[in-house]
Amino acid sequence: MAASKSSKSSSTVSRKASSSSNTSVKSKPTRSAIGAPSQLNQSSRKGKRAWRKNVDLGDVEETLEEIRAEERVTGTALHKMQDTELFQIDTKGDDKIRHTLPRYSAAQLTSTKILAQRSAVPAVFSRITSSSSLNKRKALLSREEKERLMRIAKRPRKGPFNSILDPSEYAAGSGTVELSDAVKQSGTYDPWAEEQAVEEVKDGMETVSKKTIKPPALKRTRDLIEIPAIVEPHQGTSYNPPVEAHLELLEKAASIEAKRLRDAEKLAEIKAKMEGARLTQEEYDIAVAAGMTVQAVQDDKDDENVASEGEEEPVPSVKKVPERKTKAQRNRATRVLAEKRALAEKAHRKRLLASISDVKTLRRTTAQAMSTQEQEREERRIALVEKLKKHGVAGQKLGKHKVPEGRVDVQIGEDLSESLRGLKPEGSLFHDRFQSLQQRALIEPRVRVLPKKRRNRMIEYEKHAWKRFE
């Protein structure tokens, strides 16, 4: 028994040694020589898939890599080239070979060396180029020609999403469908281009051409205004202004305020006169008919009072009816009227003949008056242009409202702070900008729309269901 055990132990030791020796012999690298991952460790030998997966292809890959290196250098494999292309007998030598060979530089970067190794294999292009399509056979028919022949033959054609078009939709009663004139002329019309004059061809027939209307060359009011967007303020508006500038601005503000007060008083007088001239039925207790005056009604009232005192009423005078003229009287009146007309005509002709000698004087006077009027009109136009340049359209009524004039912001001597620390801001930048836009005729004059009170009275209703409650 002891001998058998020893023999078994020795056999197991020998197996382990043999297995260790086998594993040491069969150990293979985990990666291939060209850098590809290796799967040569056979974890199992069951099935053909495991055998195919763990086959050693190192020699084949190494050979293929050598062929690829040859192609990068020469453009093709060496075994495919002829001997004349590989070898030649040099009997003369080349003097310029030193200039063509690359020079060795120790300072050259490794990345530059890698980029300098250009491959002789042509690059792969994603689109067809002239160089890549030299060896290819050109298409016998273009796409347009092929579609035209298919339309003529009425063959089924594929539309979008590979859908087959209905042959009845190709054209109504014809086998060919050409491009329309609108498609052929698309892209040639420019809506913003200037209209070119059409040359009329004189072929003996009447031609009608649209007459071009030239717009009037008038300057806009906006183009005549030269005031800046932000006007430089007056020197008297400073917190510590000079005395002369401050007094000048105070006088200007006082004149504007006096004008406003005069206009207000004048408007109040007009309103008072209108109120005083208004007659009401309560004041006179009479009904005044349309067309009658108050004085006539008062006179009638006075006459009635006088008659009521007991005096005798004056007998109204009867208007005498003119008698009918005889025929001789009518003839005499006709002759007198004809004589008067003849005398008036004679006097007019005499004055006309007398004025013939004064024609030159009249013409000179008329020309002088016309020139004076033209000069005054030109002066008014120049004054208006100057006013537009300096003040814009301030003070003019445009539409429903009047363009406001620039208000004068000035403080009296007691309110001047004389220091920036005690200065109080006045005015509104938004108001100034909005007023500047109106005066420069960029926007129309507007007034502030204040909210109005609701005129309609709210009426509350109580529903019938809530009237009967217990």
Residue pair 415/240 in contact (Cβ under 8 Å)? The answer is no
- Over residues 56-65, the mean pLDDT reads 86
Q: What confidence tier does 344 reach under pLDDT thresholds 50, 70, 90?
A: very high
Closest CA to 54 of 66, 39, 37: 39
- What does the pLDDT look like over 122-175, one tens digit per residue? 887 776 666 555 555 556 788 788 888 887 887 777 766 777 766 655 554 444
User: pLDDT tier at 305 (50, 70, 90 boundaries)?
Assistant: low
Convert the pLDDT of each residue in 94-109 to its tens digit.
777 777 776 777 778 8
pLDDT value of residue 50: 64
Say what the pLDDT of residue 5 is: 43
Predicted confidence at residue 14, as pLDDT, reads 43
Q: Given the DSSP bridges, would you call strands 397-398 and 401-402 parallel, antiparallel or unpaired?
A: antiparallel
Q: What is the pLDDT of residue 49?
A: 66
Task: Determine the pLDDT at residue 40.
Answer: 63
Amino acid 326: pLDDT: 92
pLDDT digits (tens, 9 = 90+) for 246-277: 999 999 999 999 999 999 999 999 999 888 88
The amino acid sitting at 154 is K
Q: Are 229 and 436 in contact (CB under 8 A)?
A: yes
In DSSP terms, 158 is beta-bridged to 164
pLDDT of residue 259: 92
Q: In whole numbers, what is the pLDDT of the chain averaged over residues?
A: 76
| pLDDT number for residue 175 | 47
User: In the prediction, which pLDDT does 115 show?
Assistant: 83
What's the first-to-final CA gap in the chain, in angstroms? 120
pLDDT score for 330: 92
CA distances from 168 to 105, 164, 322 (A): 76, 12, 104
- Write the Ramachandran bin of 144: left for phi over 0, alpha for psi from -120 to 50, otherwise beta: alpha
Cα–Cα distance, 427 to 233 (Å, whole number):
12
Per residue in 203-239, pLDDT (tens digit) is 665 666 777 888 777 778 888 888 888 888 888 888 8
pLDDT confidence of residue 338: 96
The pLDDT of residue 71 is above 60? yes
At 412-453, the pLDDT tens digits run 888 888 788 888 877 788 888 999 999 998 999 988 888 888
How far is CA 283 from its chain centroid?
Answer: 66
Q: Are 395 and 405 in contact (CB under 8 A)?
A: yes
* C-alpha torsion sign, points 330, 335, 341, 347: negative
What is the structure's pLDDT at 284?
A: 53
pLDDT given for residue 29 in this prediction: 55
User: What torsion do the CA atoms of 271, 273, 277, 280 make, to the nearest 10 degrees?
Assistant: 40
Measured between alpha carbons, how far is residue 381 from residues 247, 396, 399 in Å?
Answer: 33, 15, 21
CB 436 within 8 A of CB 393: no
- The continuous run of DSSP H or E covering 258 comes out as helix 243-277
Residue 456 pLDDT > 60, yes or no? Answer: yes
pLDDT digits (tens, 9 = 90+) for 21-47: 444 444 555 566 666 666 666 666 676
Asked whether the predicted pLDDT for residue 78 surpasses 60, the reply is yes
Largest separation between any pair of C-alpha atoms in the chain: 199
Looking at residue 67, its pLDDT comes to 93
Backbone phi, then psi, for 402, in 5-degree steps? -105, 140
pLDDT per residue as tens digits for the range 356-415: 888 888 888 999 999 999 999 999 999 988 988 888 889 888 888 999 888 888 888 888
Average pLDDT on 455-459 reads 82
| pLDDT at residue 201 greater than cutoff 80 | no
24-45: b (≥16 Cβ within 10 Å) or e: eeeeeeeebeeeeeeeeeeeee
